[in-house]
Every structure is written in C-alpha cells, then in structure tokens.
Chains A and B, each alone.
Chain A
C-alpha cells in the first residue's frame, strides 16, 4: 500500500476512509425500515418542518442514505414540537398548557414484513369533569362532545362505558337482587348472603361491605344528578353529524342566555363543536382507521378514561390501572404508509383531539375556580 495515500489525520479517516463503509451501514439500517423512514419524512414535509428541497438535496448528495438518516433525525425532533403546537391551538388557555413531552412517544416497530409505528401513551391520563353544577342541558352537551372527540379525533372513552362493558357479574347480581324487591337493607343483605354464588364471587364479609357495594351499584345504575339520568336514558345515539347539528343549535340558543355564554364550559363547547364540524368535513371517517394494525397493545382510549366524579369511579379507575399494568401499554399501532398522507392526517387529528381534551380540563378547573396544572 502506498503510504502517501493513507489519511493524514483522524478527521480524514472518519470523513474520507470510512465514508463508503458508513453509507453502506446506513443503507443496511434503513432498508428494513425504509417504509417507516419514508412515512416519517413525508409526515415532516407535510407538516412543514422539512422541505421538499431538503429531500431533493439528500437524494442528490454523494451519500444519500446517510443524508436521509440525518433528515430522519430532524423529522423526529420536529414531530413533538408540531404536535404540541397543533394541540396548543385548540386548548382554552394556550398560555397554560401542560408539558407534552412525557405524555406520548412514537417508536418504530421492528417486524420482518409489515413495518409500523407505535404511538404509545407513556402515562395514563384519566380526566374527571365536574358537571353536576351546570344546567343539565349544558352538561349533556359537554358529555356528548367529549364522546364525539373520542370517536372522531383522539381515542378516549367514558369511564361509565368502560366499566359497563366489564361489569357483567355486578350488573346481573344487582339487577337480580333489585328484582327481589327488598327495600329494607337487612332483608336485602339476608337474601344476598344466602346466594353462595354471589357471596363467593364478591366476597362480602359482612353487611357493611355489602351495603358499600350496593351503594356503588345504585349510583352506577340509578345516578342522582338530572343530567346523568338524561345521559343514561339517551338510548342509541344518532349519527355524529346529527348530534353536531343539535349541539350547534343549542349553542346558538344559549348565546343570549345571561351568564351562560361566557362561562368556560360554553366557551369550550363553542370551540369544540366548531372544530368537530371542520374535522367531520375533512375526515368523514376517523383517519386513524386506515392505518390501525392488529397488535397486542391495548387501545389508546384505555389510557384516557373520562369520568364525571361519580361515587363508583375510584374503584373502576383502580381496576383499570391494575388491568393496564399487566398489558403491553396503550397506544395505536400505525402501519407505515409513505404513499398517502394518512399518517399526517392521523397525527393531526390526534393532536387536535388532545388539545380539546386539555381545553376541557382547563374549562373544568376554571368553572370550579381552581388553577389548572
């Protein structure tokens, strides 16, 4: 080997001698993940924090794979900033936005055939809203709007619905005991304790334990606040478009009600309903549906349970935490698709929905006169 051709300095070694080797290594790294990388780069271009000219320059560079890897770094670092800015535009008080960083992460899922991205919730985020003091129609409108946000934008679920799906045993036992028609607590306990199947399943040791269980079930199936009774009796909801038209009509009626239009909840409702109408026009179906893939992880909704400060909620929240502690976490597994803008639309809708949820928390805190943290 001609010693004169050896690199003279360490910098020459890294820049010149290893360049081809490094480009090959980038190529090998990117190849199984190409569709993910391309989908993320497309997302960054559509989101506006990467330019097409930068992509062109990367392809024209002598080491395109290394240049694309570098762009991927920029795309990933710009992603949380973009999501946070999008969410911030939809909150009620943009100046007081919670720290987004520890909430959600996006990771590449390594599989042989179907590369995908996993949008994971890093923390559980249960929200409790206090609507009992509001006029019942406003409270029902807020619950309807929250439910629509969960279906259309970001996944979240009402704790009542989540608990209702899991409370088969409690529901059947409660309804059977109620059907016996005992109004006296003593005779009710006697009837319940005689049934060994129930006693074994629920493990009531004495009448006090049974009464606590009974009070929770009664609060669940026969809630006291008027708005919850209306919400509970709503039956099968109509189409989302029709619900939104109804909400808009009510908001129009309430605009001249003294002391109502300027309340934080009404301000939030206006913003949320108008945003949902725009979202419905842009996305007749939830954009996440096109990308969601089968996975072992729990749905994103399970990390965001929405409660209304009912007496039975604490038990079910504990239950949900225990359930999720044995799971792979909550999130969306999204197929990487660089051919369409589905990933951009999905994350955009997610960010808008998160902003509206944060806005609802801010409205709740403001209505109670508490600081939002």
Chain B
C-alpha cells in the first residue's frame, strides 16, 4: 500500500479535473491566521458543551440565564 508521501506525490501530479466550484465559496488564504481561525470557527463550530462566548453579551445581569 502506498504511503502518505507517495499518495501526496501522485496527487501533486494529477491532471486537472473539471472542478465544481462556486466562486463565492473559494477558501481564504491558509497563510492568514486570522482568516483561518475565522474559517475554522464558521465551518467547525464547537459542540455545545465546549462553546465559548466570544463577545460579552449586551444584557443586564438580571436577564442572563442562571449559572
């Protein structure tokens, strides 16, 4: 069975396929860390238990749910 590196080399040499691509859905540059983090957050939201609040809620304390 081909190793990961062999498969990578084969993948790099593959001919162009007609890709189904929506121009609006092109990925942002992976090099931009801020963009990548935002992308990961959008596509892979954390499960409910681990979800963190990113911004303080603009609510008076008596309207917040009980801890």
Q: Which residues of A contact B (CB under 8 A)?
A: 11, 14, 18, 20-29, 31, 34-35, 37-39, 41-42, 45, 51-56, 59, 68-69, 72-73, 76-77, 107-108, 338-339
Complex: A41 Cα to B5 Cα, angstroms:
9
Residues from chain A with a CB closer than 8 A to the CB of B4 are 45, 51-56, 59
Complex: A108 Cα to B42 Cα, angstroms:
25
Tell which of B8, B27, B31 touches A26, judged by Cβ atoms closer than 8 Å. B27
Q: List 25 A-B contacts (CB under 8 A).
A: A14-B42, A18-B25, A25-B19, A25-B25, A25-B26, A27-B17, A28-B19, A29-B27, A31-B17, A31-B19, A37-B12, A38-B9, A38-B11, A38-B12, A41-B8, A42-B8, A45-B4, A45-B5, A52-B3, A53-B4, A56-B3, A72-B30, A76-B31, A107-B31, A338-B8
Whether A24 lies near B22 (C-beta < 8 A) is yes
Q: Is the interface of A mostly helix, strand, loop or mixed?
A: helix
Whether A69 lies near B8 (C-beta < 8 A) is no
Whether A25 lies near B21 (C-beta < 8 A) is yes
Complex: A18 Cα to B8 Cα, angstroms:
26
The smallest C-beta distance from B46 to any residue of chain A, in angstroms, reads 12
Residues from chain A with a CB closer than 8 A to the CB of B11 are 34, 38, 59, 68
Chain B 9-56 residues near chain A, CB threshold 8 A: 9, 11-12, 14, 16-17, 19-22, 25-27, 30-31, 33, 36, 42-43, 45
**4 residue pairs, one from A and one from B, having the closest CB atoms:** A55-B4, A24-B20, A52-B4, A38-B12
Whether A29 lies near B26 (C-beta < 8 A) is yes
Given the known A-B contacts A28-B26, A69-B27, A338-B12, are A42 and B20 also in contact in the complex, defined by CB atoms under 8 Å?
Answer: no
